[in-house]
Structure formats: C-alpha cells, structure tokens
Structure 1
Amino acid sequence: MRRSPMRPLALIATIGTLALTGCGLPAHETGSGAHSANPGKVIRAHEVMRLTEVHEETGMTLLEGPVFDEDGQLIVVDVTAPAGEPKVLSVDVRKKTSRALHTDGRGAYTSAQFSPYDGRLYLTDFAHGEIVSLAPDGGDPRTFFSGAVDGSPMNPDDLAFDEDGNLYVSDSRGLTEGQDRGRVVRIDREGREATVLADGLGATNGISFDEDFRGLWISELTRNRISYLRLGDAGETASRHTAVHVDGGIAQTDSIAVDAAGNIYQALHGRPAMVVYDRNGGHLATIEVPAGAKGLESATNVAIRPGERTAYLTVSGPAGGYLYAFEAPAKGIRQSNGG
C-alpha cells in the first residue's frame, strides 16, 4: 500500500493525543579540514543496515536524532515506535548490530543530544511538549522541562546545546494549521527559565549552532528556508535573517547539522536526500541514496563522527528505517552530532 508522504510530525499532531497512548517529517583539503566541492556535486551514500520495520500499531517508522555517545555507539530515536518497542536504540555501526536503550508508554521522541553540562541524553517529546533526559545507559528517565512558554505549549522538534549546557529548542507550533507560529526557545541548563528568542517562523524544525557558537541555523519546514539567528553574549537574540532558500520541490526542510568548516547539512522530508551548503549559502553537494533503493521517503538527520568525516544518515519510509553512510565534506564536531 502506498503511503502518503505527509509529514510524520503533522500526522502525530493531527491525531492529537495519539493512539500511541498512540514529528522532523525528507577534493582538496585545507588547513581547517574542509574539502572543496563542485556546485551540484552528488555524494552517494551506501546502506549500512536496516534498523526498524514499519510498526503495525502506528503504520510507520521514523528514525531521527542520531548522536554518538562517548563509547562510539550511535544513539537513534524512532519517533513513531509504540509503547513497549524501542524508542531509543544504541547501534554499533561497525558490527551492524543494535539494542534497545529505552522505551516507555507515551513519548514521541524527535531528537536526541548529550548535554555538555551533565552528560545526560536529552530527548524532545513532540507530542507532549516536553524535554526528557536519560542517563547515558538509557535509565533514570526525568522530565527536564514541561509546560507553556509565554502562555503557549511547545511542540519541541530538535534541540542544540551551547557550550555552557543551555538548551535551544525548535518549537514547531502552527505545523498542522499552516500558520507561521513556530518559535525558537532557550531553556537554561537547570530547566527553570524558558525564553522565546524568535517567533513567527514557519514550523521551526532543524536547529544547530554554527561552528563557533555565535549563532543558530534554523530550518522552517513550511517555508523551505534556512534562517540565521545571531546571538548576543548572554544568549539573547541580536539579529535574524533569511539565509538560504531551499529549492526542495515536493520535499521540505527537516533537521540541520554543521561541520567543522561551517558547512550546513539540510535534511529533506519527502526525498531521501540531504543538501549541503557552505556558510555563505553556496550549494556544495547533495547526499543521495542509490537510485535503486525503494520505499524510502525521507532523510531526517545526520551524525558525523566527531573528529572524522564518516557520516551516518537516518532514512525512513515504507521499506523501514535505515542507516546510510557517506564521507562528509569536513570533519564532525558537536554541531554535527545530535539534535
């Protein structure tokens, strides 16, 4: 049966409380470690493994939020996994094996990242407007933040940490209404104070600091654009502008990552591909899965192994949830590891 390419996050929001009781929807080396690439260059990713199959209860599977832990294991979330099935997985990409790290009865987790402050794994629960944290081994679940921000509940999609451990969250409000109500929310590292840094955005999705932590790259799903939010010394908004218009066609802008050279990796919902831009908006390359790969509809996110150029792309569709690997144009850093 052919499935609609409807954004999984929109599906979750439309269902409301969900049936999950029961999101994210596709050289020459220089001294800095960057590699030049010709405009329009295609980088072919190769299949590593299939991680998940379509869940009967939810009718889909959606891998997101890849992040390497300190032991080199790749942590991945399955947004639409039903209660009792793995919602967070730990993957040994070299051995091509995986194991369940965490499950629960309600969460719809759309991203994952380790905090530089307390070392815990933080997850965004899109469906319930919460930020949850786990011990690195997947135990000790805690609700880090919940509730309204400036009088409105969040639909947290992706997150990024600054160097002090404060959280910056893409709030995808307005997604199902088709209204520009998306926000960027800053939450202090203790989870006590939440501040809206930007609003009026088109279903804010991807969020990542640039390479030197001076500002945030933000993708707007329903506008197919990447905006740049420059921050002040105290983490406040200094300026904001539209930086890149993404020619996605039927595909939409999903998660974002940034490598050591400042290149921007823009995932695509509705197409199993990722577009790479330099920090000035130049199109460096497009990451594609092989043309013969069937049943894959979206590439949601990427993790580049820190200090290396080996990158892992999360790709999903009716065929299941897969990991694909490719050689990135530059090395991985915190900004290309989770979120």
Structure 2
Amino acid sequence: MSLYAPPRDLPTRVFTTMPEAFWKDGDSEWVRANKPGQNVKSFLEGPSFDVSGNLYVTDIPYGRIFRIDPLGNWTLVAEYDGWPNGLKIHRDGRVFIADYKQGILVLDPNTGSIAPFLTHSRSEGFKGVNDLFFDESGKLYFTDQGQTGQQDPSGRVFAYDLDKEILTRLIDNGPSPNGLVMNLQQNALFVAMTRGNAIWRLPIQSDGGTSKVGIFAAMAGGVSGADGLALDCVGNLYVCDAGNACVWVFDPHAVPLYRIRSCTDGRTLTNLAFGGAGNKQLFITDSSTGSILVADLEHAGSPMYSHS
C-alpha cells in the first residue's frame, strides 16, 4: 500500500456487547487448539442480517448462534456440538452455517434446530470450512481453511450448485482461505488468504471453474491477516484485518481508500456485514471484546442474495 497516499481513517462506535449472562468459562477444545493459554469468553464471527433487520452472529468455540435485534438485544438461537464460523441467510429464510467440525449446516431460525447440508466431497471430509457466500443465482461458494497456512498452502475454495447438487473445487493451493465475496459483475470471487496477508481474485469461467487466479491486493504484515470480506454498491472491497484492529477499504482497482479503526482495545476484527438505515452502516465483529462495532459509510452495501 506504499504506492498510494495513506488511506483516510474512519471511526467506529460500539453498537452492542455480548451480555455477561452469555459469557463462557473461557475454555473449550477450540480454545486449546487455536488460542492456547488464553481465557476466551466468546469468539464472534459470521455477521449476517435477515430481512427484518436482525443481526445473526456465531460464537465459534462454544457452538452458539445469536440473534441481535435492531436495538442491540441478544437472543441465543442455538447451542450445539460444533464450531460455527461463517453464516449467511438464504432468501428463503434458511440460515446456512460454515461449521469447522461438521461442514455446511442449515439452521431453522424459528426452532433453533440444525441439520447437515453438505458435509463431505465424494466421502472425503472437509479440512475445516470457514466462510460462505451466495451469488445472485443462488450458487453457494465457501472456503475450506482447516489449519492451512504458509507451511501447508492447500486450503480450498468450493462452489456448490444447490439445484444441480454439483460441487466444484475452484482451487486447492490457498494459504488459509477465509472470507469471500463476489465482485459486482459476478464474474470474479475475492478470497481473503489470512496467512498470505493478501486478497486473491478468482475469475469465474462460463463452465463454473476458474483460471488465471491472481493477487488482487496485498496487505501489511501482522500476527494474523485478512479475514471477513464485504462489498459496497460501487464495488469497493472491505477487508477485516484480524490482527491490526481495523478494516481496510479498496476501490475496484485495489487502490486503498479508507482504514476503519476499532474504537475498542481489541485487535481481532473478524468479519463484517452491511445493514442499518439505507444499508449504509457497516457492522463488524470484534471477537477480542465480544462487541459489535458500527461505522457510518458513504455508500450502501451491495444487496445480499437473501434480500433479493
């Protein structure tokens, strides 16, 4: 980013924080594997709005799904044996979850019941799915991150046609593929490569595959890297930096525009979603403090498939 003028800083404020009644004891299998020696009361991810303006978030280490109303009140929707990460809401109201343990699951928001949807590829289990996205046609894209990184750049990105029940592997050489979103033209997929500190661009071909995959934007270093992604209505890309307490904003040509800074002491901003008045507010999960941050923006978010 040194080729360009420094991006302008934009502020955030706390929208809501997880009530103490929902804090956990700080220990789980996920904590011991991913945050060893730390006391983790929650780890929020997967923000996604339903058509009524409620915000859904996941709590990875404790297998929980929460619904937050427009006033910031929290409701526990589901608690189960899983590690839910990404979450997106289908236009038919089903809530799809990328669960590291179990694969792609579906939540009924009315009953809290969870059912398997896509748990393997030709009887081979996934490494550990991370995030998911629906395009305008309803095709599902998701990342299979597992424990990949620079030591093992074998993370995968899949596309799944729900109508034809066809699963396509787009790449299998990603150093920790994480958040993902499509461009406005719906002909390229952006994928955050956390341990590569970069955003990859995957052109989507007419046959549903990809070719000439390249790096769209390289990010500054740090202890983590690019995480959740979102797109606004003019094609700007929003990238959570999970180690540097901010969201970077790039224009459609990867020129850095803004840095949206956290207003808390936490550094782990994991994911983000557009919502609020006119869909021009950005809601960000601050996993290190159990908070949801919000920033007011110039442009509205790109309409979600669930709202079409």
Q: Normalising to structure 1: TM-score of the pair?
A: 0.78
Secondary structure of 1:237's aligned partner: coil
Larger mean Cα displacement after TM superposition, 140-149 or 203-212 = 140-149
2:258 maps to what in 1? 285
1:98 maps to what in 2? 74
Change (3 A) 1:174 1:50: closer
Select the structure with the greater relative contact order (CA < 8 A; seq sep ≥ 6). 1
RMSD: 2.4
**Unaligned stretches of 5+ residues in structure 1:** 1-37
State how many pairs are aligned: 288
2:172 paired residue among 199, 206, 227? 199
Give, in whole Å, the separation in 2 of the partners of 1:160 and 1:309.
20
Give, in whole Å, the separation in 2 of the partners of 1:191 and 1:315.
37
2:98 paired residue among 124, 127, 131? 124
Q: Does 2:282 match 1:311?
A: yes
Give, in whole Å, the separation in 2 of the partners of 1:244 and 1:149.
34
2:295 maps to what in 1? 326
Q: CA deviation at 1:98?
A: 1.0
Give, in whole Å, the separation in 2 of the partners of 1:203 and 1:149.
22
Q: Normalising to structure 2: TM-score of the pair?
A: 0.86
2:145 maps to what in 1? 172
Secondary structure of 1:184's aligned partner: strand
Contact 1:258–1:336 (Cα < 8 Å) also in 2: no
Contact 2:222–2:243 (Cα < 8 Å) also in 1: no
Q: Does 2:213 match 1:232?
A: no
Q: What aligned pairs does 1:1-339 form with structure 2 within 5 A after superposition?
A: 39-51=6-18, 55-56=24-25, 57-58=27-28, 59-60=39-40, 61-81=42-62, 87-93=64-70, 95-104=71-80, 106-116=81-91, 118-128=92-102, 130-148=103-121, 151=124, 153-175=126-148, 178-190=151-163, 192-290=165-263, 293-294=264-265, 296-305=266-275, 307-317=278-288, 320-334=289-303
Runs of 4+ in 1 over 6 A off after TM superposition: none
Give, in whole Å, the separation in 2 of the partners of 1:48 and 1:192.
39
* Structure 2 letter corresponding to 1:302: L
Give, in whole Å, the separation in 2 of the partners of 1:336 and 1:321.
27
Q: CA deviation at 1:135?
A: 2.2
**Unaligned stretches of 5+ residues in structure 2:** 29-38
Give, in whole Å, the separation in 1 of the partners of 2:223 and 2:77.
34
Give, in whole Å, the separation in 1 of the partners of 2:202 and 2:159.
12
Question: Percent of aligned pairs with the same residue?
Answer: 24
